């Protein structure tokens, strides 16, 4: 390597060294000195030309930086495909800043880019200036929007109910009150429940129609996400419906779920009417795969 001529290394070693260098979060120079790169080829920044030759216009380091920039540009585009509404809301320039900082803190570790954006909502929450305070600001709205988009992406790529039989509204008919109170429900695998301090679902609808949609005022909202016919559906929930569903998803019986929801909400309306309306909605929206427990029917 002292004569400046490229040294001989096997192709797999060169590939692993180059991958370590161009994917390093702090750039090519630090990538060359990283333990991962040094494990494959022990050179320093001044010796890069012994591995990668320079061209007429670029040094060896600059040639590697072209690949590094392309690599991170691809990652940013991948993140933007997972969070398109977030990107539309903040604009391309600010999104790129968010994305690069995120990738520096949470570099890609998976063999697939499908997992690249998993920690993005966590990153936004961790770096929010209002974290740990009672204040709600624009950053908190962005966290909620990112959580919703990440959930939508996961549901779209995950298991659905397209080939499954689900619990229908008609199956609720004739079940005795005692059996129903003891029953537990199996949820469809694509169901996700969210509680937000902002009306996130309403904003998603608005920004899909108008890229200049205004950021809404802080107002609590509750949302169920599911998938039918390979389309992710957003189902707004009341606070009562949300807390009832949360407990059902935890495997509690209907009576236990009602008790927990009443503690959270203390509804002023008639509980039996609220319950009947909620389960009509849940079964119509196909939230349940099956009902477990006693299912004896009323005679007559």
Residue 40 lies in a domain: yes
> What tokens does 237 get?
């929930």
> Which residue, among 279, 85, 99, has the nearest Cα to 183 in the 3D structure?
279
- Which pLDDT tens digits describe the chain residue by residue (300 residues)? 444 444 567 777 877 776 777 777 677 777 777 787 777 888 777 777 777 778 878 887 778 777 777 888 899 999 999 999 999 999 999 999 999 999 988 888 777 778 899 999 999 999 988 777 778 889 999 999 999 999 999 999 999 999 899 999 999 988 898 999 999 999 999 999 999 999 999 999 999 999 889 999 999 999 999 999 999 999 999 999 999 999 999 999 999 999 999 999 988 888 889 999 999 999 999 999 999 876 444 433
**pTM of full prediction above 0.85:** no
- Identify the domain containing residue 137 by its residue range: 83-157
Same structural domain, 202 and 228: yes
Same structural domain, 16 and 92: no
Residue 297 lies in a domain: no
Residue 197 lies in a domain: yes
Same structural domain, 181 and 224: yes
- Location of structure tokens 């080829």: 41
Helices (H), the chain: 11-22, 28-33, 35-40, 60-82, 84-90, 92-105, 120-126, 138-157, 177-182, 200-209, 239-249, 254-265, 271-284
Residue where one domain finishes, among candidates 92, 127, 157: 157
Strand 221-228 versus strand 184-187 pairing type: unpaired
Q: How far is CA 50 from CA 31, 44, 47, 57, in A?
A: 16, 10, 6, 17
CB-based contact 31:107 (threshold 8 Å) = no
Residue 148 lies in a domain: yes
Same structural domain, 115 and 199: no
Residue 254: CB atoms within 10 Å: 22
Query: What is residue 297's predicted lDDT score, i.e. its pLDDT?
Result: 44
Eight-class DSSP state of 297: B
């Amino acid at each position: 390597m002292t004569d400046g001529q490229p040294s001989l290394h096997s192709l797999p070693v060169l590939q692993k060294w180059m991958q370590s260098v161009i994917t390093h979060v702090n750039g090519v120079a630090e990538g060359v000195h990283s333990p991962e790169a040094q494990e494959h080829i022990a050179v320093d920044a001044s010796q890069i030309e012994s591995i990668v030759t320079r061209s007429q216009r670029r040094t060896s380091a600059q040639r590697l930086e072209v690949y590094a920039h392309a690599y991170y540009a691809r990652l940013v585009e991948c993140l933007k495909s997972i969070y398109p509404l977030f990107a539309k809301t903040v604009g391309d320039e600010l999104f790129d800043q968010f994305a690069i900082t995120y990738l520096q803190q949470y570099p890609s570790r998976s063999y697939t880019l499908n997992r690249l954006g998993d920690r993005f909502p966590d990153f936004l929450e961790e770096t929010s200036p209002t974290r740990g305070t009672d204040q709600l600001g624009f950053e908190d709205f962005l966290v909620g929007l990112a959580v919703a988009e990440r959930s939508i992406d996961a549901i779209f790529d995950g298991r659905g109910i397209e080939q499954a039989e689900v619990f229908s509204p008609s199956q609720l008919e004739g079940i005795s009150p005692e059996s129903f109170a003891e029953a537990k429900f199996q949820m469809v695998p694509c169901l996700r429940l969210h509680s937000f301090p902002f009306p996130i679902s309403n904003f998603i609808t608005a920004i899909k129609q108008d890229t200049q949609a205004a950021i809404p005022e802080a107002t609590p909202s509750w949302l169920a996400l599911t998938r039918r016919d390979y389309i992710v559906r957003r189902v707004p929930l009341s606070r009562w419906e949300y807390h009832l569903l949360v407990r059902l998803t935890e495997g509690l019986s209907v009576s236990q779920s009602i008790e927990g929801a009443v503690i959270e909400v203390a509804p002023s309306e008639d509980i039996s009417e609220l319950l009947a309306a909620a389960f009509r909605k849940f079964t119509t929206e196909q939230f349940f795969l099956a009902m477990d427990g006693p299912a004896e029917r009323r005679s007559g």
